[in-house]
Amino acid sequence: MADVPDTPLLDTVDTPNDLRKLKPADLRQLADELRAETISAVGTTGGHLGSGLGVVELTTAIHYVFNTPDDRLIWDVGHQCYPHKILTGRRDRIRTLRQGGGLSGFTKRSESEFDPFGAAHSSTSISAALGFATANKLSGAPGKAIAVIGDGAMSAGMAYEAMNNAEAAGNRLVVILNDNDMSIAPPVGGLSAYLSRIVSSREFLGLRERLKKVARRLPRPFHQAARKTDEFARGMTMGGTLFEELGFYYVGPIDGHNLEHLIPVLENVRDAEEGPILVHVVTKKGKGYAPAEAAADKYHGVQKFDVITGAQAKAPPGPPAYQNVFGAALVKEAATDNRICAITAAMPSGTGLDAFAQNYPDRFFDVGIAEQHAVTFAAGLAAQGMRPFCAIYSTFLQRAYDQVVHDVAIQNLPVRFAIDRAGLVGADGATHAGSFDVTYLATLPNFVVMAAADEAELVHMTHTCVQHDSGPIAVRYPRGNGTGVDLPETPELLEIGKGRIVREGKKVAILSLGTRLAEALKAADTLDAKGLSTTVADLRFAKPLDEAMIRRLLTTHEVAITIEEGAIGGLGAHVLTLASDEGLIDGGLKLRTLRLPDLFQDQDKPDAQYAAAGLDAEAIVDTVLKALRHNSSGVVEGARA
């Protein structure tokens, strides 16, 4: 009976230094234990699972072969980094993933020296690794930079900008392309087809195997010749790889789950004098966990789940998610308007456009992780008479800001931006918070910027986006489920720039934008009970403002509060500007703006995030009471009311 180790190998590995003490033959068992630990941890926390399972062997091999953290390992997106975190001193905290005060769900510099660069937005790893590699080259410091980038992330232009620039890094830069033939959805576009051809060209693989055997038997100086022959072979069989044309030595494709292949190849890459080198590994998203392998999405993002059955915890049936309300509304609108087309940047289900894709496949475009292209592509469609809906999460739209300004706003084109995940998003934390879209869009001439207070409003706003012939319109709405309000049978055409009074009062006016309306109404109840009669307005538009309504409220109430799920420079700033321009604050009106604090908020439950941000009912009440105690010199008088 082979001696069964009494302690799991994983228990002997706290950091990669411990890992590197193991024998190569032990790594298979270590990887199996690492996979089991990853499954067990994510079963209790939820999070991103499929991607991490796909890189268990790769993570093990990289940390085994390269001298991390001195060799800088940079994960692209970082959603696959849980095995990496377990192997780099954070196993004891892995079950705090994506929770308040816990580990981030992505790599994070402040968390560990083994996370030299933060991630979460896709396709940044090669640029960052090139920065580290070039710094080392300039300073003479030893060490390589290794970027691990997925096939999905390779669909973003930024990856090519970096590769185009990489030759100078020489052998300091290693790029590992983790090709699992999946993005969040199945990958799209020419690159995906290209990678599939490489992976499937058997004659090439046969030739490569023979060459590798020859190369191994040759003394080292001949390796170079063999490698050139190898490139020639590649040129013969595949017309030169895209990556070599960009100046990389291409190695692969190799089986990313086979440690016997991975270790020697990575050792060769580590010791190579030439570079930069791109290693193409083929992996399986969800590898080693049957429920993930069988799932269409390979368990990309999961709720807590039963590890035995893979059954995910089901949220109690509640109101529909905003993304699906938008998707269904757009499907309805498209039935009677064939100008409508829909664009996603690799997020069909997250944006709710999967419904549109099923109903109108010819008018649906998944452009891959390519937000900049998505926006200008939409601008082209609009310029040629279509009514494009570009559905991009608030945070990911940041990447395409110049396209929004230069190609859409200046040309005043009727592109419609469906901005999901607007506001705080909970477990994904600061990198995914949709904090800035009102600030960065409402400052642009020609733009209309709306915020839905609930799912019924989202239906009305989607309809208005279709019907209103104007320049660009953005409608923003939050992650998650609606409020449970009834959805309208017939959507209303909203008058651009007009808000609505939801509750009439006399002394305090709360001017709300978006779904903070519910908290504003709760605050109004409390204030009424304190004898402070409160008006609540849903402004609906951050641009153009409903100036007549704002003017009336500010001149008939003692205190006015604006509230929005966005950073400074949004609704509050625009109302303040109006008020100051028109002298509405010269006569003693107490005007206060409530917005997200000037900081990047870590992951937590959304309600906790909003309470911490001072954007819940209690904060509104406190702000009103404090304003009432502010004397003319701005001193807060007396004890708390």
Ligand X SMILES: Cc1ncc(C[n+]2csc(CCOP(=O)(O)OP(=O)(O)O)c2C)c(N)n1
Q: Is 492 annotated as a binding residue?
A: no
Q: Is 463 annotated as a binding residue?
A: no
Considering only residues 178-207, where is the footprint of ligand DXP by CB under 6 A? 184
Nearest CA to 498 out of 450, 462, 458 is that of 450
Residue matched to tokens 């030439």: 274
HEC readout, 568-598? CCCHHHHHHHHHHHCCCCCCCCEEEEECCCC
26/28 Cα distance (integer angstroms): 6
Residue matched to tokens 């420079």: 569
Is residue 56 classed as helix, strand or coil in its secondary structure?
A: helix
Q: Indicate the residue type of 398.
A: Q
Contacted by 479, from ligand X, ligand DXP, Mg ion, none: CB < 5 to 8 Å by type? ligand DXP
Q: Is 412 annotated as a binding residue?
A: no
Number of residues that bind ligand DXP (CB under 6 A): 10
HEC readout, 322-339? HHHHHHHHHHHHHHCCCC
Considering only residues 130-159, where is the footprint of Mg ion by CB under 5 A? 150-152
Contacted by 204, from ligand DXP, ligand X, Mg ion, none: CB < 5 to 8 Å by type? none
CA dihedral 134, 138, 140, 141 (to 10 degrees): -50
The two tokens of residue 386 are 């279509």
Which residue, 107 or 192, is less far from ligand DXP as judged by CB? Answer: 107
Number of residues that bind Mg ion (CB under 5 A): 5
Query: Which of 72, 85, 284, 285 is the binder for ligand X (CB under 6 A)?
Result: 285
Query: Which of 19, 41, 77, 126 is the binder for ligand X (CB under 6 A)?
Result: 77
CB 137 within 8 A of CB 172: yes
448/260 Cα distance (integer angstroms): 58
Nearest CA to 613 out of 627, 593, 599 is that of 599
183 lies in the site for ligand X, by CB under 6 A: yes
Q: Is 520 annotated as a binding residue?
A: no
Cα dihedral sign, 579-585-589-590: positive
DSSP β-ladder status, 590-594 and 559-564: parallel
The yes-or-no answer on residue 371 being catalytic is yes
Query: Could you tell me which stretch among 86-94, 175-183, 270-278, 508-516 binds ligand X (CB under 6 A)?
Result: 175-183
CB 93 within 8 A of CB 102: yes
Which residue, 35 or 557, is less far from Mg ion as judged by CB? Answer: 35
119/419 Cα distance (integer angstroms): 21
Query: Which of 257, 399, 479, 540 is the binder for ligand DXP (CB under 6 A)?
Result: 479
> In the sheet that 559-564 helps form, which strands lie side by side, from edge to edge?
500-503, 534-538, 508-513, 559-564, 590-594
The yes-or-no answer on residue 227 being catalytic is no
Q: Is 122 annotated as a binding residue?
A: yes
CB 544 within 8 A of CB 496: yes
Phi/psi at 167 (nearest 5 deg)? -50, -40
Which residue, 256 or 499, is less far from ligand X as judged by CB? Answer: 256
In the complex, least distance from residue 77 CB atom to ligand DXP, rounded to whole angstroms: 5
108 lies in the site for ligand DXP, by CB under 6 A: no
167/158 Cα distance (integer angstroms): 16
182 lies in the site for ligand X, by CB under 6 A: yes
Task: Spot the catalytic one: 35, 72, 90, 399.
Answer: 399
Which residue, 60 or 351, is less far from ligand DXP as judged by CB? Answer: 351
Nearest CA to 510 out of 529, 485, 528 is that of 528
Length of the chain (residues): 641
DSSP β-ladder status, 448-451 and 47-48: unpaired
182 lies in the site for Mg ion, by CB under 5 A: yes
* DSSP 8-state symbol, 28: H
421 lies in the site for ligand DXP, by CB under 6 A: yes
Question: From residue 29 to residue 68, what is the string marking binding to ligand DXP with x (rule CB under 6 A)?
Answer: -------------------x--------------------
Nearest CA to 297 out of 372, 246, 348 is that of 348
288 lies in the site for Mg ion, by CB under 5 A: no
421 lies in the site for ligand X, by CB under 6 A: no
Contacted by 85, from ligand DXP, ligand X, Mg ion, none: CB < 5 to 8 Å by type? none
The two tokens of residue 272 are 């190579």
In the complex, least distance from residue 499 CB atom to ligand DXP, rounded to whole angstroms: 28
Task: Spot the catalytic one: 37, 57, 333, 371.
Answer: 371
Query: Could you tell me which stretch among 378-386, 420-428, 434-442, 616-624 binds ligand DXP (CB under 6 A)?
Result: 420-428
Considering only residues 336-395, where is the footprint of ligand X by CB under 6 A? 345-347, 369, 371
CB 391 within 8 A of CB 411: no
Q: Is 147 annotated as a binding residue?
A: no
Query: Which of 35, 63, 79, 284 is the binder for ligand DXP (CB under 6 A)?
Result: 79
**Could you count the other beta carbons within 10 Å of the beta carbon of residue 60?**
26
Query: Which of 333, 428, 437, 604 is the binder for ligand DXP (CB under 6 A)?
Result: 428
DSSP β-ladder status, 72-75 and 340-344: unpaired
Which residue, 35 or 421, is less far from ligand DXP as judged by CB? Answer: 421
119 lies in the site for ligand DXP, by CB under 6 A: no
Peptide bond into 544 cis (omega under 30): yes
Query: Which of 41, 97, 147, 153 is the binder for ligand X (CB under 6 A)?
Result: 153
Question: From residue 31 to residue 70, what is the string marking binding to ligand X with x (rule CB under 6 A)?
Answer: --------------------x--x----------------
Which residue, 265 or 281, is less far from Mg ion as judged by CB? Answer: 281
596/613 Cα distance (integer angstroms): 6
Task: Please report, for residues 107, 209, 323, 416, the alpha-carbon distance to residue 350 in angstroms, rounded to integers and kept in the order given.
Answer: 22, 42, 7, 17
**Could you count the other beta carbons within 10 Å of the beta carbon of residue 193?**
10
Q: Is 121 annotated as a binding residue?
A: yes
CB 163 within 8 A of CB 258: no
Number of residues that bind ligand X (CB under 6 A): 25
Query: Which of 350, 434, 472, 566 is the binder for ligand DXP (CB under 6 A)?
Result: 350
Task: Spot the catalytic one: 35, 72, 98, 285.
Answer: 285
180 lies in the site for Mg ion, by CB under 5 A: yes
Contacted by 346, from ligand X, ligand DXP, Mg ion, none: CB < 5 to 8 Å by type? ligand X
Binding residues for Mg(2+): 151, 180
Residues at the contact surface with ligand X, assessed by CB under 6 A:
51, 54, 77, 79-80, 120-122, 150-153, 180, 182-184, 285, 300, 345-347, 369, 371, 396, 399
Residues at the contact surface with ligand DXP, assessed by CB under 6 A? 48, 77, 79, 184, 301, 350, 421, 425, 428, 479
Residues marked as binding for thiamine diphosphate?
Answer: 79, 120-122, 152-153, 180, 289, 371
Q: Which residues are catalytic?
A: 285, 371, 399
